[in-house]
């Protein structure tokens, strides 16, 4: 019996485990990765803010960026874009419906999001990360 600990040692996130077996998920998780879905929300004060969504998995971030046009709130590295491309190329569901991607890099560096409309909690985090004063 491996249990949940055996799944995690092998790189899987256990979804359902008992003494006979289990179901697990394997993928790359993202820490504190926020994306803008292209929409704005208006606060009670009439202030216009970006509607942001926390994305916790690389595959979801890649799909949202490629298919839905969502933008990462913070700048992303070329390495992250290449990993997103790799995830999309290996996506079984996309392959089954006949989607194919070019050999080279196809995800372009995203345009920066309008910082003046960032929610306050993300503005404070960005200032902390980059050593800026609010």
Does residue 74 lie within any of the structural domains? Answer: yes
The answer to whether position 106 is within a domain reads yes
pLDDT at 1 (0 to 100): 41
- Structural domain includes residue 9: no
**Can you tell me the distance from the alpha carbon of 55 to that of 34, in angstroms, rounded to the nearest whole number?**
6
Domain tally, the chain: 1
At residue 58, φ and ψ (nearest 5 deg) are: -60, -40
pLDDT of residue 132: 42
pLDDT band (50, 70, 90) for residue 124: low
Residue 28's Cβ-count burial label (10 Å; 0-12, 13-18, 19+) is middle
Task: Please write the tens of the pLDDT for every residue from 15-57.
Answer: 777 777 777 766 788 988 999 999 999 989 988 999 999 999 9
pTM greater than 0.85: no
Is residue 18 a part of any domain in this protein? no
pLDDT for res 69: 95
Min mean pLDDT across 10-19, 91-100, 110-119 is at 10-19
- Judge whether 57 lies within some domain: yes
The tens digit of pLDDT for each residue in 55-87 reads 999 999 999 999 999 999 999 999 999 999 999
Give domain status of residue 20, yes or no. Answer: no
Domain residues for 84? 29-130
SS (H, E, C) 84-103: HHHHHHHCHHHHHCCCCCCC
């Amino acid at each position: 019996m491996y249990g949940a600990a055996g799944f995690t040692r092998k790189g899987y996130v256990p979804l359902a485990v008992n003494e006979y077996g289990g179901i697990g998920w394997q993928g790359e998780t993202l820490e504190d990765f926020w994306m803008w879905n292209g929409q704005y929300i208006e606060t009670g004060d009439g202030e216009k803010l970006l509607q942001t969504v926390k994305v916790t998995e690389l595959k979801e971030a890649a799909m949202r960026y490629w298919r839905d046009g969502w933008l990462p709130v913070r700048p992303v590295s070329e390495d992250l874009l290449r990993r997103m491309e790799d995830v999309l190329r290996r996506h079984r569901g996309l392959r089954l419906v006949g989607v194919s991607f070019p050999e080279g890099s196809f995800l372009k560096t995203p345009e920066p999001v309008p910082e003046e409309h960032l929610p306050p909690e993300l503005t404070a985090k960005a200032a902390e990360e980059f050593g800026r004063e609010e």
